[in-house]
Every structure is written in C-alpha cells, then in structure tokens.
C-alpha cells in the first residue's frame, strides 16, 4: 500500500510537471528581431546574416525574422530597449545611441572626438568593446534586463550638409543638424554652435527632402551610401566624431527558453555577425582587412572605395587633418567633461586603460 501511495505521488508530480516541461520546450514559430534603419542598411544586412546563420545551424528550430525601419516601435527608436525588455520584441540589433536614454553607460562611445583622436580609431574601438569598458557597458545592459549576445557596428558617424563645406567648428554655426533624441547629441552640437534638431530616423529622410534641416550625421558604408545621401546633401565632413557600436540582444525570457545547444549556436552566430558587421562598416576605411574578409565570404559589395562612390555622385569631401580635428575636440571640451562626470570615474578610467593598451 505504501508503495502504491508512493507511485501515485510521483505520478501526480510528473503529471503536474509535464505541461511545464512542454511549455519550456516550445519555441515560437517566429522570433522578431528589431532594426531601426531600412532594409538596405549595413545594420539590417548584419541582422539578416545572423538570422540566416541561426536558421541554418539550428535546422530551422530558431526562426528569426528581421523587422527593419523601426516598424516594431512605430518609428520611435528610443523606445526599443523597453519593448525588448518587456518581450514585445524578441531580439534587437540595436545602436547604443538609441538605448542610451535608458542605460547611461551606453553614452560612452558617443563622447565626442575621443575615438577620432586615437592613433588607430578601429583598434581603439575594438579595444573598448573587448576591454573593461566594454564589459561595464554589457553589465549595465544586462542589469537593466536584457541578455547580451555580441557587438556589431554601425560605424563612425560623419557629417553631411547642404551648406558647406564644414572644416571648422565656426562653419557649423547656426546650422540645423538632425540628431537622435538622446541628450549627449544635443549637448555636443550645441557646443559646436549648431542648432541640433531631434528627429526620429523614420522621419529624417522627409526632413532632408523638405530641407527642414541643413544636415545630419551617420556612418558612411552602412547608412549614408545606402541612403544615397547625395540626393539631399552635397558636403561630407569626414570627422569620425564617434563610433556607433551595435548590440545584439535578446529578451531574457526568450533566451531561457532555448536549449543549451541552441544558446551556444546563437552565441556563435552572434560572434560571426560581429565580424561581418564590422567588415561591412569598415570597408575601404581600414587597412584592407574588411574588404579581404568580405571577399573571402563572397559578400563584398560592388565597390571598394566608399569615398569614390561619394565623389562620383557629386559630393565634396573634407577629410579633416589632425590639426582641424583638434579644434573640434577643444570646442566640445565642456560637453565631454559633463558626460565624463555623468558616466563616472570607473567607466572613464576603464576606457582610458583600454585605449592605452593599443597605443
């Protein structure tokens, strides 16, 4: 009798546990991955690359669909993090800029002209992301409630304007420049004497068309070229004033539901997407490694010199000399000091140590 009772007890425990087990194992038929810019951007291409790799490696168990053009947040790009955290979005390949209003630490890469004045801006970027300052940023993201899978890159943000050329801070005086609605950008462009206008990317192209603003800043390969920025602006200032790293992240509930094997695959695919995304963003602007990598993958776009594409389309490029850059660096000193204070000593010291390690 006691044995029978024991059996009944374990059977009912099993019956209770079964639906839970089944629920934990059930995958969604589609996972939604959010991307802010349009489908031809380097950023959306990186997300597609990741989704394809994941599908292939999991034999279709994990089916990720990329939703570009901020469609999962009705264009409001700075609400992406909250939507990922609450599970309205499953995955995001997101810019630190769009999440920085909620996660202070993500303002670090936007400190104006810090990376631009390093001996090698790409080595400096990689040292930040892989170093202690990168770890502190990841910790901050995870503490706020989403799981980090890997970095990728939108790229160094360059200035394009309809009035110009812009080679000194004084040239920017009074120009209306479209920026993302994140306070560090307002401070930086105010410091430069410009008139920063907060506008979602979803409305920006119309804004350029209608001349609501005189300029904007975005990376060369991933955005300015794919958008054909020459349709709106003639002047290009290659000032590298900040790098725009991307974070591949997933909602923690979604993450926990994946098997250990699939979690491992997702991590590996994110690492591959980082290499691909960085190569796309750096093409023609590094020591040749990006083009080599893309060519080996068979995924090189049909050009190898982005600057030639810009000039062929009538743009006038100003590549700033170190002396010219120094003026921009000095003019933004107060904005930098304010944000360094805001970010705190630990993070700023970590960044300096990371940068030092590649000098």
Q: Which parts of this chain interact with ligand X2X (CB under 6 A)?
A: 36-37, 77, 95, 97-98, 154, 180, 201, 218, 223
Could you give the CA distance from residue 86 to residue 253 in angstroms, rounded to a whole number? 9
Smallest gap from residue 223 Cβ to ligand X2X (A): 6
Of 62 and 222, which has the nearer Cβ to ligand X2X?
Answer: 222
Cβ-based nearer residue to ligand X2X, 36 or 124: 36
Residue (36 or 137) nearer to ligand X2X, CB: 36
Q: Which is nearer to ligand X2X, 160 or 251 (CB)?
A: 160
Which residue's CB atom is positioned nearest to ligand X2X?
Answer: 201
Spatial separation of the C-alpha atoms in residues 167 and 268, rounded to whole Å:
42
The 3-class SS string of the chain reads CHHHHHHHHHHHHHHHHHHHHHHHHCCCCCEEEECCCCCCCHHHHHHHHHHHHHHHHCCCCCCEEEECCCHHHCCCHHHHHHHHHCCCCCEEEEEHHHHCCCCHHHHHHHCCCCCCCCCCHHHHHHHHHHCHHHHHHHHHHHHCCCEEEEEEEEEEEEEEECCCCCCCHHHHCCCEEEECCCHHHHHHHHHCCCEEEECCHHHHHHHHHCCCCCEEEEEHHHHHHCCCHHHCCCEEEECCCCEEEEEEEECHHHHHHCCHHHHHHHHHHHHHHHHHHHHHHHCCCCCCHHHHHHHHHCCCCCCCCHHHHHHHCCCEEEECCHHHHHHHHHHCHHHHHHHHHHHCHHHHHHHHHHHHCCC
CB of 98 to ligand X2X, least distance (A): 5
Rounded to the nearest whole angstrom, what is the least distance from the CB of residue 34 to ligand X2X in the complex?
11
User: Min. distance of Cβ 154 from ligand X2X in angstroms?
Assistant: 6
Q: 229 or 254, CB closer to ligand X2X?
A: 229
Its sign, for the CA torsion 264, 266, 269, 271, is negative
Residue 187 has φ and ψ, to the nearest 5°, of -65, -45
Q: Which is nearer to ligand X2X, 81 or 258 (CB)?
A: 81
Q: At 138, list the tokens.
A: 């990841």
Q: Select 77 or 243, whichever has its Cβ closest to ligand X2X.
A: 77
Residue in the block written with tokens 């425990």: 13
- Least distance to ligand X2X from the beta carbon of 61, Å? 30
Which of residues 68 and 131 has its CB atom nearest to ligand X2X in the complex?
68
Shortest reach from residue 215's CB to ligand X2X, in Å: 12
Instruction: In angstroms, give the least distance from the CB of 266 to ligand X2X.
Output: 23
- Burial class (CB within 10 angstroms; exposed 0-12, middle 13-18, buried 19+) of 128: buried
CB of 157 to ligand X2X, least distance (A): 7
Q: Which is nearer to ligand X2X, 131 or 222 (CB)?
A: 222
CB of 344 to ligand X2X, least distance (A): 23
């Amino acid at each position: 009798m006691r044995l029978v009772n024991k059996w009944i007890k374990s059977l009912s425990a099993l019956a209770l546990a079964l639906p839970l087990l089944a629920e934990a194992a059930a995958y969604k038929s589609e996972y939604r991955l959010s991307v802010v810019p349009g489908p031809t951007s380097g950023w959306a291409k990186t997300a597609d690359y990741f989704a394809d790799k994941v599908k292939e490696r999991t034999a279709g168990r994990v089916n990720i669909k990329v939703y570009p053009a901020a469609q999962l947040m009705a264009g409001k790009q700075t609400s992406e993090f909250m939507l990922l955290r609450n599970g309205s979005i499953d995955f995001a390949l997101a810019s630190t800029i769009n999440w920085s209003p909620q996660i202070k630490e993500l303002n670090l890469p936007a400190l104006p002209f810090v990376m631009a004045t390093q001996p090698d801006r790409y080595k400096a970027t990689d040292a930040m992301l892989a170093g202690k300052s990168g770890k502190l940023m990841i910790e901050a993201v995870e503490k706020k409630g989403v799981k980090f899978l890997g970095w990728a890159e939108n790229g160094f943000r360059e200035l394009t304007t309809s009035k110009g050329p812009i080679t000194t801070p004084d040239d920017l005086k009074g120009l209306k420049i479209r920026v993302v609605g994140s306070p560090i950008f307002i401070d930086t462009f105010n410091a430069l004497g410009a008139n920063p206008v907060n506008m979602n990317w979803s409305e920006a192209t119309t804004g350029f068309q209608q001349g609501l603003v005189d300029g904007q800043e975005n990376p060369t390969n991933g955005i300015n070229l794919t958008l054909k920025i020459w349709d709106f602006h003639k002047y290009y200032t290659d000032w590298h004033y900040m790098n725009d790293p991307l974070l591949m992240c997933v909602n923690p509930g979604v993450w926990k539901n994946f098997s250990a094997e699939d979690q491992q695959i997702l991590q590996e695919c994110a690492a591959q997407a980082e290499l691909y995304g960085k190569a796309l963003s750096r093409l023609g602007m590094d020591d040749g490694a990006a083009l080599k990598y893309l060519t080996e993958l068979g995924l090189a776009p049909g050009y190898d010199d982005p600057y030639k594409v810009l000039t062929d389309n009538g743009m006038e490029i100003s590549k700033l000399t170190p002396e010219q850059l120094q003026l921009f660096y000095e003019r933004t000193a107060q904005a930098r000091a304010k944000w360094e204070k805001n970010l705190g000593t630990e993070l700023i010291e970590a960044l300096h140590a990371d940068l030092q390690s590649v000098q």
